[in-house]
Amino acid sequence: MPNHASPITNYAACILAIETSCDETAAAVLRGGKLLASEVASQIAVHAQYGGVVPEVASRQHLRALRPVIAQALAAAGVALAEVDAFAATCGPGLASSLMIGTSVAKGLAVALRKPYLAINHLEGHLLSPFFGTHEGVRPAVALIVSGGHTLLVEIEAFGKYRLLGQTQDDAAGEAFDKVGKLLGLPYPGGPNVNRLATSGDPARVDFPRSMLHSDDFAFSFSGLKTSVRYLLPKLGDISLPDVCASFQEAVVDVLVAKTLRAAEATGRRLIAVSGGVSCNTRLREKLRAACAARGCELLVAEPALCTDNAAMIGYVARLMLAHGQSSALTVDIDPNLRLVA
Ligand code: KG4
Ligand code: ZN
């Protein structure tokens, strides 16, 4: 079905953005460069009882939560639905049945109100989130995306111009945190819990492998590290749980930091932009800050609320698309395997 709405190039446009790619139901309202409201209804408590995200449960939760979350975002922003100039939703990558819900609602609203629809790549949302709210906007950089589903190193030339430098060959960094958390009997999601326990542990207590640290590329591998933790568990001796968490975390962080800095060196970029849920990790932030200071690089990490899944980052990409005169046809379908770079 064609979208009859005329394109907008107005930078002050009001955008309603929706994110339902995984286990957070989120809506945000932006006007111009300003975030007016960002609401997130987390499904963590629901999925925690299964030890991970159950796709069928996730889509039912999105169905229940999306209308109230949109209403809350509009109310918090003080914006009426009729004032919204464009509707955006994440179209991939993610869980098919979850993506369907956000995109269907955004398309329905766009059709009913005869406004443009914008299909947004979730990875581009993460990628550009560190630039949101900065005076300069998107700048050339080396970007590290570390989330539950992805670990990517990307060179950003400008908005829409990205080059994939490397990515994980197996587990994503967040997935490794979550799997290790599960092995250690910690509540889902493991990432924040491993991070919390690690603060009282010794990062040098166990010398876990730093997979692909010295490989001549920008690829990552974290599944071997998770296996090392599993083999260690039956013979822990006097090694404490915080020591295991701190040592595991150190191994992940060391590889992420070293490869990111090497990518900056190889591309000549002096700005490093880090995003995704794992960029909340306090040790990763600390070691990135130190490494960037030592090499004279600038570090840009979004505030924690913009690192984990949210709709503000989706709205930011939508705003940049509108500013470039772009919108999406209503025929643009979801793509659970959507890539950042074709
Ligand atoms: O970006 P995100 O919300 O969802 C995806 O797009 O995947 O990332 C979620 C991931 C989970 O694996 C979670 O455990 C991890 O981010 N995470 C962390 C921390 N906070 C969230 N991992 C390590 N340390 C943290 N503090
Ligand atoms: Zn995400």
Q: Residue 262 has what pLDDT?
A: 98
What 3-state class would DSSP assign to 139? coil
User: Domain 14-128+307-323, CATH 3.40.50.2300 — does that match?
Assistant: no
- The region, left, alpha or beta by phi > 0 then psi within -120 to 50, assigned to residue 23 is alpha
* Span 5-33, average pLDDT: 86
What 3-state class would DSSP assign to 138? coil
pLDDT at 11 over 80: no
Whether 14-128+307-323 shares its CATH topology with 139-301 is answered: yes
Q: Residue 2 has what pLDDT?
A: 45
* Minimum CA distance residue for ligand 1 atom 10: 148
With bands split at pLDDT 50, 70 and 90, how would you rate the model's confidence at 6?
low
> Considering the domain 139-301 in this protein, what is its CATH number?
3.30.420.40
Q: Residue 1 has what pLDDT?
A: 46
pTM: 0.95
Task: Show the ligand 1 pocket: residues with CB < 6 angstroms.
Answer: 22, 147-149, 174, 177-178, 189-192, 195, 276-278, 280-281, 308-309
Locate the domains of the chain by residue range. 14-128+307-323, 139-301
Q: Residue 285 has what pLDDT?
A: 98
* Range in 8-17, 50-59, 80-89, 152-161 the model is least confident about: 8-17
Joined together, the tokens standing for residue 140 give: 């050339």
Q: Which residue has the tokens 């899944």?
A: 309
Average pLDDT, the chain: 95
Q: Rounded to the nearest whole angstrom, what is the distance from the C-alpha of residue 73 to the centroid of ligand 1?
A: 23
The ligand 1 atom nearest the CA atom of 276 = 1
Q: Residue 297 has what pLDDT?
A: 98
With bands split at pLDDT 50, 70 and 90, how would you rate the model's confidence at 44?
confident
Per residue in 206-257, pLDDT (tens digit) is 999 999 999 999 999 999 999 999 999 999 999 999 999 999 999 999 999 9
With bands split at pLDDT 50, 70 and 90, how would you rate the model's confidence at 7?
low
Q: What DSSP string describes 273-340?
A: EEESGGGG-HHHHHHHHHHHHHHT-EEEE--HHHHSS-SHHHHHHHHHHHHTT--B-TTPPP-TT--S
pLDDT at 52 over 90: no
Per residue in 282-332, pLDDT (tens digit) is 999 999 999 999 999 999 999 899 999 999 999 999 999 999 999 999 999
